[in-house]
Amino acid sequence: MTVSMLTAGIVLLHLLGVVAAMHAVMHTRTPQGAIGWAIGLLLLPYVTLLPYLYLGSSRFLGYRSGHKLRPAPLSPASTDGHAIDPGCTRFAAISALQGRPFRGGHQLRLLIDGVAAFDAMLAAMAAAENYLLVQFFIIHDDGLGRRLQQLLLQRASAGVRVCVLFDGIGSHALPQHYVDTLRAGGVAIHRFATHRWRNRLQLNFRNHRKIVVVDGVCAFVGGLNVGDEYLGLKPPLAPWRDTQLELRGPVVADLQQRFAEDWQWITGSLPPMLAPAPGTGEASALIVASGPADELETGSLFFTAAINAARERVWLSTPYFVPDHSVRAALQLAVLRGVDVRVLVPARPDHRTVFLASTLHAYHAVRTGIRMFRYQPGFLHQKALLIDHDSAAIGSMNLDSRSFRLNFEISALVVDPAFAGEVETMLTTDFSRARAIDEREYLDAPYLRRVAMHVARLFDPLL
């Protein structure tokens, strides 16, 4: 290679860096992110151009969600005629964000940890007569994964229409023969991927939703994926702490719609869907869906609005505590209002960088009066939120920028004193198995570890 060719290559890279920097300034969601990308692209384009190509986009283009931002005034009865809890009015902003009202008449079952959750989900799937809609972020070809595979093949052979989605990045280790076996047995199974050319190079976007719908009769949401570790069978993270929620009632239709949107994006067609069975319970619920195709930052706004609605307590359980400015401010304001704010996080890391950043955020949180706790028995993966005495949310949303902005997520917000009491009992047990975090955790850490925490925090927008 001649000197002139090398010079021309360097000039070209810098020109491309300038173009990419302008794109970053125009399209990056946060000023900090825009500054970081722009400086890197202008000064070191030969280092940052390729990462920007794969990680620089903050919008998932082309995807259309059925929920639109519009006013959602709450009345004593939801659109299906079931009475809704008056406490739902506190969450009118979240209802408007989803473009749909709370619905009443739900039966709920809180499923604690993997064995109880998968016993319930697999039993419900085994009873399917018309169709199964199944979506997970991760599916492994291990003991639990093969149990699911055999059940899906059995239902397909019985004439049940089975539709399965899994995330291409989360399930990167799933072998092709697992998928081929299901397809050969009549199961419609697809990898959720960027799919369209405008997103094709992006690695940021992931479908983190966990949804199971059986015949329009019952549905499940929560934090569990399909793998032996979620049953607590893989040290050193065992026992695995997680939570799933079974719902029966009108919002099953909303969960079907969310699955259908993802399915249509990948396949171009709609999955089978029946009207949900009439609700016979008393709980009011709203399905909260979020993703990088939303007009607003739905995930962050959901947590902010829910925390701002609290008057008595905010109890949070999350594996990753990397709050953005809005959520951090909402937690701090809740403390100043006299709200009992507690956050439960893991004592063991599954992702080192996120754990380091979470540790620094926990230190700053404790200094502002937020009570932080580390769960001791095993890895904590549950995503649970308890507001006051009557409201709780269970789903797939973590408290980090990835869930706020980059992942497709799903949760159920429930307003019902009885259900909130069950969540309170569950979290009280969890907190009893945790140790309080104080400032010494950060201050007593070796200097280089503290430096690593601050470096890890620089990657907050991607964590």
Active-site annotation, residues:
208, 210, 215, 381, 383, 388
The three-class DSSP label of residue 63 is: coil
CA distances, 426 to each of 119, 274, 383, 392 (Å): 19, 33, 12, 12
The widest CA-to-CA distance across the chain, in whole angstroms, is 78
Round to whole Å and give the CA distance between 457 and 358.
8
Beta bridge partners of 415: 284, 391
Helix axes 45-55, 31-43, angle to 10 degrees: 140
CB neighbours of residue 307 within 10 Å: 24
Round to whole Å and give the CA distance between 310 and 392.
11
List strand residue ranges (DSSP E) for 131-290, in order: 131-136, 161-167, 188-192, 206-207, 211-214, 218-222, 243-248, 283-290
CB neighbours of residue 290 within 10 Å: 30
The three-class DSSP label of residue 322 is: coil
> Which residues, including other chains, have CB under 8 Å from residue 176's CB and lie 6 or more apart?
none
Report how far apart the first and last C-alpha atoms of the chain are (Å, whole number).
40
The three-class DSSP label of residue 338 is: coil
